[in-house]
Amino acid sequence: MRVLFIGDIVGNPGREMIKSHLKRIKEEHAVDFVIANYENASHGFGLTAKNANELVACGIDVMSGGNHTWDKKDILPLLDSHEILRPHNYPSEVPGTGCKVYEVLGEKLAVLNLMGHYAMPYTDNAFRCALTTVEALHAQGVKNIFIDFHAEATSEKRAMLLLLQGKVSGIIGTHTHVSTDDFQIVEGTAYLTDIGLSGCRDNVIGMDEKVPLKQFLTGIKGHFDIPKKCKKVLQVAIMDFSDGVCSNAFKLKYFDDGRVIETKAWMEA
């Protein structure tokens, strides 16, 4: 199966790039299943019902969240009515789930959403949650497992790879909005520390630079806004999974000026 993953969709610019490109990307690269992170999709903070329906109509099969999951009140009914995840390591009393299993080309695919600890809301231990969840999935006969690890610290993301390499098909980090240059396949596990945002690329992590610059210069905080006009990018990872193993992976960056940059994941010996 060929799985496509989109990281943090930041506001209308990110949604516009998905509407403009995703259908064609799926056709050109024979994509079977699409996962995307929604937590910044509605003006940078959370997800509304309107935007959820908009993204589903673009061809996204399931959406994962993060620390902004609860920012819009719409999310509570969406967790039941849509294929929408929240971080699985929230306490069990929290609505929704962070793990679902799908049938893709006759194989099972589990999508697991986890959230890190450094500078993030309080949750249960992400690493223990990952181990117990992956073990339970294996016991159910689910071999293809993809993890969106929403975390600030690169060390946490790297540690998750070392914990689970050879046990899951892919681990890709989200949250920082800044893409890293370490896409690799280790013991059959595709890994990228952070895929980066899809949205404005010429500001501060997708937001208008005025408030962040004022904060850095003076220490005074303000409300972050997404620019009405900006240069945009769509960043996607495409991975081939079968029998729990990733055999091939690459990243595509689509710019609104027509450029496309492809980076192939390297295979660790």
Instruction: State residue 269's pLDDT score.
Output: 75
Which range marks the domain in which residue 196 is found?
2-267
**Total domains in the fold of the chain:** 1
User: Catalytic: 68?
Assistant: yes
pLDDT of residue 224: 92
Per annotation, catalytic residue among 21, 68, 88, 150 = 68
Please state the separation of Cα 150 from the chain's center in Å.
7
Q: What is the per-residue pLDDT for 203?
A: 95
- What pLDDT score does 137 carry? 98
3-class secondary-structure state, position 13:
helix
DSSP helix/strand/coil, 102: strand
Q: What is the mean pLDDT of residues 186-202?
A: 98
Q: Model's pTM, two decimal places?
A: 0.97
Please, which residues have CB within 8 angstroms of residue 267's CB and are 6 or more apart in sequence?
184, 185
Q: What is the pLDDT of residue 34?
A: 98
Mean pLDDT of the chain: 97
> Which residue's entry shows tokens 């231990």?
125
CATH number at residue 171: 3.60.21.10
Tens-digit pLDDT profile for residues 151-165:
999 999 999 999 999
For the stretch 74-89, pLDDT in tens is 999 999 999 999 999 9
Give residue for tokens 């850095």: 216
